[in-house]
Amino acid sequence: MTTAEIVDLKGLPFELRRLQNNSGSSAVRHVLRTLPMYFGDKRAIPFYSEQASAVKNYSLGAYLNARQVGIVVLRSSTDDTGEIAVLAIVPEHQSVGLGTVLLDRAEQEAIRRGHKCIIAATVGPKQKDPNFMRTLRFYERHNYRMLAEFDYMWPGVWCAYLVKQLGD
Ligand SMILES: CC(C)(COP(=O)(O)OP(=O)(O)OC[C@H]1O[C@@H](n2cnc3c(N)ncnc32)[C@H](O)[C@@H]1OP(=O)(O)O)[C@@H](O)C(=O)NCCC(=O)NCCS
């Protein structure tokens, strides 16, 4: 952990901390386990926790009273392109603006890295999953636009690739 910032949302002081290596992985595991409707596939948690431990990735954890409540991981896919590799907030602290704050910090980091755009993959509208429809609306409200939707990346699940131009 290298830096800490406090953000006040609805009167609650959320602490944001940069995470490295194992602290990032265990944060991902902790948050994703609270969201079985989204990350219930047994391959999901090991896959995403590995993203947080990759040295070049940027991981930021959110805490309330020292309890882990959210996580975002940014990966640099190419020199021009960043990717939201993980973004999740525990159910009891969703809809107060914390996802927006973590997404913003990841976008700021992508800009610092010189990326021109940022992408995110999520379950697409053809899947008709009401939980992920909310996720899609969240990204759309933050100016992410759907590039493509296909069903070969995650067997049996429609995957949507979203993109946002940075620095507008
Ligand atoms: C998608 C997700 C990351 C969004 O995080 P969040 O903290 O709930 O998002 P925010 O609170 O910033 O914004 C979302 C909602 O809160 C509202 N909101 C935003 N800022 C707010 C504020 N300051 N006060 C009150 N409400 C606010 C928005 O209008 C929005 O409304 P909705 O509940 O109808 O969607 C979160 O819901 C989540 O973890 N979902 C499950 C996992 C997931 O889908 N991850 C995405 C990658 S696949």
Q: Which pLDDT belongs to residue 3?
A: 62
Give residue-wise pLDDT tens across range 51-73: 888 889 999 999 999 999 999 99
Structure tokens belonging to residue 72: 């975002």
The CA 134 to ligand 1 mean position distance, Å, reads 8
Q: What is the CB neighbour count within 10 angstroms for residue 2?
A: 7
Give me the pLDDT at residue 1, please.
Answer: 47
What is the 146 CA–ligand 1 centroid distance (Å)? 18
The residue to mutate among 89, 136, 162, having the most atoms of ligand 1 within 8 angstroms of its beta carbon, is 89
The CATH superfamily assigned to 4-165 is Gcn5-related N-acetyltransferase (GNAT) (3.40.630.30)
Nearest residue to 7 (alpha-carbon basis) of 116, 77, 103: 103
Supply φ then ψ for residue 99, to 5 degrees: -60, -40
Secondary structure class of 130 (helix, strand, coil): helix
Residue ranges lining ligand 1, Cβ < 6 Å: 9-10, 35, 38, 87-89, 94-100, 122, 134-135, 137-138
The neighbouring-strand residues paired with 154 are: 157
What is the pLDDT, as a whole number, of residue 53?
Answer: 86
Domain limits of the chain?
Answer: 4-165
CB 132 within 8 A of CB 122: yes
Could you tell me the distance, in angstroms and rounded to a whole number, from the CA of residue 14 to the centre of ligand 1? 15
* Mean pLDDT over each residue of the chain, to the nearest integer: 94
Provide the residue type at 25 as one letter.
Answer: S
The pLDDT tens digits of the residues spanning 7-46 come to 999 999 999 999 987 888 999 999 999 999 999 888 899 9
Q: Which residue's alpha carbon is at the smallest distance from atom 9 of ligand 1? A: 99
Q: Which residue has tokens 């910032």? A: 5
- Span from the CA of 95 to the centroid of ligand 1 (angstroms): 4
Which residues fall within 8 angstroms of residue 160, CB to CB, at 6 or more apart? 121, 122, 123, 124, 125, 136, 146, 148, 149
Please give the C-alpha separations between residue 40 and each of 37, 43, 56, 122, 159, in angstroms, as whole numbers.
Answer: 6, 8, 27, 14, 16
The CA 147 to ligand 1 mean position distance, Å, reads 22
pLDDT at 55 (0 to 100): 84
* 45/94 Cα distance (integer angstroms): 20
- Residue ID of nearest Cα to ligand 1 atom 33: 95
